[in-house]
């Protein structure tokens, strides 16, 4: 009934009636809730193209950003998510890839159209709990297998594959593999680019991307939006241990 009640208006459907508490709003990973969110909420906007229209005036910029966003989402995000989800279904259940794609699209469309953003956020929250729990178990089992962090450091540096490409060094573990800030000249990810370059990209992703910001705009007030941003920031640290480290463990165990 709460889902049906929030579908009567544009704000109710796209922003869940602005009634979301802080805990489901945490799954947005918004980096700068104290700077961007107050502006968006004060402007009373539902979408980012709508904010650009209010800020700069004119209809063309809103249409341009809407079309550009749709194109980018379709070819860089939605297509990847659909394929990876269908591939998982195919591997887990043995179904045809195209059949898995259709089923995934139908299920997603049903609960999204029926419940609006409310259904999407609570589904995302449930999926996050499942993924974090599974990744936590995988991380502990992996570290236990290699002898925890000291064992990972030793085994990773020895993880050289049996079959290599001549005259290349890409198969060799990098000596700075366990360093986050790497050499500005010889590093594969120089620290100036990591700090200054990725900051620009991260600001767009976590502070202006419609998919991310829409969750924050659904909060019942600014305090809940800020609370979601803080907890989202803590959750953003977890991929280092849930994704990167298990990947390094897999190379150490199966070079």
Count how many domains the chain has: 1
In three state form, how does the secondary structure of 134-186 look? HHHHHHHHHHHHHCHHHHHHHHHHCCCCCCCCCCCCCCCCCCCCCCCCECCCC
Closest by CA position to 229, among listed 217, 244, 243: 217
Query: pLDDT of 223-243, one tens digit each?
Result: 888 887 877 777 777 888 888
Count of CB atoms within 10 A of residue 91's CB? 11
Query: pLDDT of 46-56, one tens digit each?
Result: 888 888 888 88
What pLDDT was estimated at residue 16?
Answer: 44
Q: Residue 253 and residue 195: Cα distance in Å, rounded?
A: 32
Each as own residue / partner, the long-range contacts of residues 70-73 (CB below 8 Å, 24 or more positions apart, any chain) are 73/211
Rounded average pLDDT over 193-204: 79
Domain of 114, CATH number, reads 1.20.1730.10
For residue 225, what are the domain limits?
Answer: 2-253
């Amino acid at each position: 009934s709460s889902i049906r009640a929030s579908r009567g208006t544009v704000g109710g459907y796209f922003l869940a009636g602005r009634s979301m508490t802080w805990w489901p709003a945490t799954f947005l990973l918004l980096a700068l809730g104290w700077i961007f969110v107050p502006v968006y909420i004060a402007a009373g906007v539902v979408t980012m193209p709508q904010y650009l229209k209010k800020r700069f005036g004119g209809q063309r910029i809103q249409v341009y950003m809407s079309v550009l966003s749709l194109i980018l989402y379709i070819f860089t995000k939605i297509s990847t998510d659909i394929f990876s989800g269908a591939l998982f279904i195919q591997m887990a259940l043995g179904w045809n890839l195209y059949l898995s794609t259709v089923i995934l699209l139908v299920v997603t469309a049903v609960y999204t159209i029926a419940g609006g953003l409310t259904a999407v956020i609570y589904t995302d929250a449930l999926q996050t709990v499942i993924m974090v729990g599974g990744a936590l178990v995988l991380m502990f089992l992996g570290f236990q297998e290699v002898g925890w962090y000291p064992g990972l450091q030793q085994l990773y540096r020895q993880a050289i594959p049996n079959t290599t490409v001549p005259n290349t060094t890409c198969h060799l573990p990098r000596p700075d593999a366990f360093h986050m800030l790497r050499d500005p000249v010889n590093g594969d990810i120089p620290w100036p680019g990591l700090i200054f370059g990725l900051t620009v990209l991260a600001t767009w992703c976590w502070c202006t991307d419609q998919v991310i910001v829409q969750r924050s705009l659904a909060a019942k007030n600014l305090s809940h939006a800020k609370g979601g941003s803080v907890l989202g920031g803590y959750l953003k640290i977890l991929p280092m241990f849930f994704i990167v480290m298990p990947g390094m463990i897999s190379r150490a165990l199966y070079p």
